[in-house]
Amino acid sequence: MPLAQLDPEIAAVLDGELARQRGTLEMIASENFVPRAILQVQGSVLTNKYAEGYPAKRYYGGCEVVDIAESLAIERALAVFGGDYANVQPHAGAQANAAVLHALASPGDTILGLALPHGGHLTHGMRINFSGRLYNATAYGVDETTHRIEMDQVREAALRERPKVIIAGWSAYPRHLDFEAFRSIADEVGAYLWTDMAHFAGLVAAGLHPNPVPHSDVVSTTVHKTIGGPRSGMILSSRGETLGKKLDSAVFPGQQGGPLMHVVAAKAVAMRIAQTDEFRDRQARTIEGAAILAQRLLADDVRAAGISLVTGGTDVHLVLVDLREAALDGQQAEDLLHAAGITVNRNAVPFDPRPARVTSGLRIGTPALATRGFGAAEFTEVADIIATALVAGAAGRADDDLLAGLRARVAALTEAFPLYDGLEQ
């Protein structure tokens, strides 16, 4: 029975969300649009199969077909990122990270990651996350003046805390990390180096960002952010011989039961796509779009409104707008862009005086629009729409007329780049 008949309410949710995605500019840095092939695999009969264990070593019968999918996903992930070990079973980034810590540390051990309010992730030691509850979570921050991760400060923190695991990686930081320096600090204090490349993995896959795999003991990632694959996680290592067994058993049975084989197969598709020229071009447009956005948001009219960028620019797929000096907080700025048809998320900036629910920042990313087909011309227009909205908002001039004009400019872009044609219920 078609969904529209069986459950009209949920069919309406699907259509409503499709319309929302089509009609707005998606600029949440962690989101993307999966290709239809991935929707197809995720909506396939593979969802029916239990396959606890690993290829050829399962605890269930009938796994001979899904084994092919998992083996392909592993093989392709290694071809994309290098290393000699991949686990493609984590249901999501947080599960991958839980498994990494499970494999590398014991409850009570010290871990050292980037502080959450400076751009770190919940799973890197936040107080009420498993990582902060099970482990002795300590943090390094960004420099007070440059807002960059300065490696002498990371080294100082590592010498002070003597962690079992050092975590490199971020959810909101606009610059490359120095993986060689992280490696040497980890070696100096006898720690494992775990890199969480969830955000920038797509750029790494395209060869447009330094690859942490050769320098880290373990690398985790999500597959749905810059990569643009199914919502899920993955673990990689170049030390498979020593760490592979530990990591495998930390995922299953350590953290998870049966892998989601429809998602594992979709990861294989994502890893195939990641080897194409089209993928590389998309990642290049993602970075170019963020650079265009940064350039516009550094212009005089924006600066005069008290708005700046954390670190003064970007090397990656996002910018962090700093509103600490502006007459507009993160919540107001998010709401304002939403009213103009642009979806972003408010985000704390380093040394943010406002509470976490309000913040003084915006995180704005370009991966989804690059996937939608945007290039330099479209990103220039998007950047100007955002700058115009923020400048007017800070001056208290963002009235209905202004917003209607911005919405019309957004509509011209969304209509020129159709999304998921014919996917209505």
Number of residues engaging ligand PLP in binding (CB under 6 A):
15
Cβ closest to ligand PLP, residue 93 vs residue 228: 93
Among 26, 161, 196, 248, binds ligand PLP (CB under 6 A): 196
* Distance of alpha carbon 116 from alpha carbon 111, whole angstroms: 14
Cβ closest to ligand PLP, residue 172 vs residue 383: 172
Check whether 121 is labelled as a binding-site residue.
Answer: yes
For position 28 contacting ligand PLP by CB under 6 A, the verdict is: no
Interface pattern 229-258 for ligand PLP (x via CB under 6 A): ----x-------------------------
Minimum CB distance to ligand PLP, residue 413 (Å): 26
Check whether 390 is labelled as a binding-site residue.
Answer: no
Lookup: tokens for 363: 């995180």
Cβ closest to ligand PLP, residue 199 vs residue 296: 199
Is the Cα torsion angle 119, 251, 211, 188 positive or negative in sign?
A: positive
Interface pattern 166-195 for ligand PLP (x via CB under 6 A): ---xxx------------------------
- Tell me, yes or no, if 231 is annotated catalytic: yes
Question: Nearest CA to 28 among 385, 364, 383?
Answer: 364
* Max intra-chain CA distance, the chain: 66
CA 12 to chain centre: 28
Among 74, 198, 268, 274, binds ligand PLP (CB under 6 A): 198
- Give the range of 53-61, 86-94, 111-119, 342-350 binding ligand PLP by CB under 6 A: 86-94
Interface pattern 98-137 for ligand PLP (x via CB under 6 A): -----------------------x-x--------------
Lookup: tokens for 81: 């990122």
Lookup: tokens for 113: 């990651």
Cβ closest to ligand PLP, residue 105 vs residue 389: 105
Q: Cα–Cα distances in Å, from 228 out to 14, 62, 71, 371? A: 20, 30, 20, 8
Question: Nearest CA to 189 among 110, 120, 128?
Answer: 110
Among 34, 77, 94, 389, binds ligand PLP (CB under 6 A): 94
Going across the sheet that includes 318-322, the strands are 308-309, 318-322, 361-365, 345-346
Choice among 52, 143, 288, 384 that is catalytic: 52
User: Would you state the torsion angle of the CA atoms of residues 410, 412, 414, 419, taken in this order, to the nearest 10 degrees?
Assistant: 170
Check whether 365 is labelled as a binding-site residue.
Answer: no
For position 228 contacting ligand PLP by CB under 6 A, the verdict is: no
DSSP 8-state code for residue 149 = -
Choice among 7, 15, 50, 407 that is catalytic: 50
What is the CA angle 7-9-15, rounded to 5? Answer: 105
Helix (H) or strand (E) holding 85: strand 85-87
Choice among 231, 267, 285, 296 that is catalytic: 231
Interface pattern 199-218 for ligand PLP (x via CB under 6 A): x-------------------
For position 97 contacting ligand PLP by CB under 6 A, the verdict is: yes
Q: Cα–Cα distances in Å, from 187 out to 110, 194, 220? A: 16, 12, 20
For position 18 contacting ligand PLP by CB under 6 A, the verdict is: no
* Distance of alpha carbon 306 from alpha carbon 302, whole angstroms: 7
Minimum CB distance to ligand PLP, residue 42 (Å): 15
SS3 state at 267: helix
- Tell me, yes or no, if 222 is annotated catalytic: yes
For position 92 contacting ligand PLP by CB under 6 A, the verdict is: yes
Q: Is 412 exposed, middle or buried (0-12, 13-18, 19+ CB in 10 A)?
A: exposed
Minimum CB distance to ligand PLP, residue 259 (Å): 15
* Distance of alpha carbon 103 from alpha carbon 239, whole angstroms: 13
- Tell me, yes or no, if 75 is annotated catalytic: no
**Contact between residue 67 and residue 58 where contact means Cβ atoms under 8 Å apart:** yes
**Contact between residue 100 and residue 254 where contact means Cβ atoms under 8 Å apart:** no
Residues paired with 110 in a beta bridge: 136
- Give the range of 163-171, 257-265, 314-322, 350-358 binding ligand PLP by CB under 6 A: 163-171
Chain contacts with ligand PLP (rule: CB under 6 A): 30, 92-94, 97, 121, 123, 169-171, 196, 198-199, 222, 233
Annotated binding-site members for (6S)-5,6,7,8-tetrahydrofolate: 116, 120-122, 241
Positions annotated as catalytic residues are: 50, 52, 196, 222, 225, 231
